[in-house]
Amino acid sequence: MDNCNAKHTKIQLTDEEFKCPRCGKGPDDDGLVIEGGPEEANLSCTLMHDDDLLYCATCGYETTGKRLVARHMKKRALVTCPWCKGAGVVSAKKAKKYKE
């Protein structure tokens, strides 16, 4: 993959997770799709970007890559890693032990 100058989301969602939070439809079900992305993104980049615009063709739900990933991080109890100062994510339990 060529270099991409756009900011990527903290985690990359699996195909199973990339579904509309409202109706549960994914790209294969005429549901959630990436409609547009940041100008600085490389066109060949397959990773999700913070500023990707997501739209569900089934129910009309709209969001960004950053907001969708934030929902999944909360659902999976993931937080920004305190050890690496934000370069990754860890479980909330591990982060809590680190702070103690």
Nearest CA among 52, 58, 42, 60 for reference residue 12? 52
pLDDT, greater one: 87 or 33: 33
pLDDT band at 95 (very low <50, low <70, confident <90, very high): low
Instruction: Look at the pTM and tell me if it is higher than 0.75.
Output: yes
Q: Residue 1's pLDDT is what?
A: 46
Residue 64: pLDDT over 80: yes
**Residue bearing tokens 């913070």:** 50
DSSP helix/strand/coil, 92: helix
DSSP helix/strand/coil, 83: coil
Which pLDDT tens digit goes with each residue over 7-28?
999 889 999 999 999 999 999 9
Mean pLDDT, all residues of the chain: 86
